[in-house]
């Protein structure tokens, strides 16, 4: 395949309109709020444990536990609203932008001269690119963005709270971050390569099907059915192999 120029991640959001900007803003705010709920729940849990030892009277202990439990209820309600808003906003804006990319891609293809389709480009590859690549783009600019913001908020908020509660222990725990970052980066690079290889194999299999159906009489006249069937089966098995590897690494 020909080498293509890559674009920056932020270029993927160039197809967003004003409604998408509002959805992304609301989704970002609620993702931050959703991420902060996790470290705050740990703080409230600590207060709950402390409330059992602050008083010896059963009535006072019950009253203290009830006060902390109310905080848990409020936190759960806030977390539910924030999580729903986060997922809803990012999924909707991802779907809207992906649909816009599909329309623009189709318009660009229809404007091409007929000679464009004779230069190593075929209908099967075009259709497969339009369906599969836009799904990957939608995944990259949709719900996963909100999830990444949520996890980053949990990470930063957790360390801020940890430094305020016990900075000595937090400094010791910081030593575990570099190995985690390195392993996560290596896993991300590996998964990206697996997805790319799987896409290439799937496109090649789709091309075999499209070309075979388009020239089915020639295939029958030359008795190439078994050869093309084996070729398609091989490419599809390669695709399934990369999908399985990606699934295993994702787990």
User: What digits encode the pLDDT tens for the residues 144-191?
Assistant: 899 999 999 998 998 898 888 888 888 888 888 888 889 888 888 887
pLDDT value of position 86: 93
pLDDT value of position 245: 65
pLDDT one-digit tens code per residue, 30-59: 999 999 999 999 888 888 888 777 666 777
Taking alpha carbons only, the member of 150, 174, 166 closest to residue 46 is 166
Q: Indicate if the pLDDT at residue 141 is higher than 70.
A: yes
pLDDT one-digit tens code per residue, 185-216: 888 888 777 777 777 777 777 777 777 777 77
pLDDT one-digit tens code per residue, 74-123: 999 999 999 999 999 999 999 999 888 888 888 888 787 766 666 656 66
């Amino acid at each position: 395949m020909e080498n293509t120029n890559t674009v920056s991640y932020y270029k993927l959001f160039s197809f967003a309109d004003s409604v998408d900007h509002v959805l992304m803003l609301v989704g970002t705010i609620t993702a931050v709020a959703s991420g902060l709920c996790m470290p705050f729940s740990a703080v409230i849990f600590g207060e709950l444990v402390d409330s059992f030892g602050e008083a010896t009277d059963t009535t006072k202990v019950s009253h203290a536990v009830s006060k902390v439990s109310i905080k848990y209820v409020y936190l759960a309600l806030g977390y539910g609203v924030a999580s729903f808003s986060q997922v809803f906003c990012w999924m909707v804006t991802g779907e809207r932008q992906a649909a816009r990319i599909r329309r623009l891609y189709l318009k660009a293809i229809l404007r091409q001269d007929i000679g464009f389709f004779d230069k190593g480009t075929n209908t099967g590859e075009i259709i497969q690119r339009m369906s599969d690549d836009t799904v990957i783009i939608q995944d990259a600019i949709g719900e996963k963005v909100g999830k990444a913001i949520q996890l980053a908020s949990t990470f930063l908020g957790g360390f801020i709270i940890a430094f305020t509660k016990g900075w000595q222990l937090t400094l010791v725990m910081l030593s575990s971050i570099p190995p985690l970052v390195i392993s996560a980066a290596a896993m991300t690079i590996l998964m990206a390569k697996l997805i790319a290889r799987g896409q290439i194999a799937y496109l090649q299999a789709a091309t075999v099907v499209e070309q075979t159906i388009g020239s089915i009489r020639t295939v029958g006249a030359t008795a190439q059915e078994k050869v093309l069937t084996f070729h398609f089966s091989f490419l599809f098995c390669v695709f399934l192999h990369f999908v399985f590897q990606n699934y295993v690494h994702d787990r």
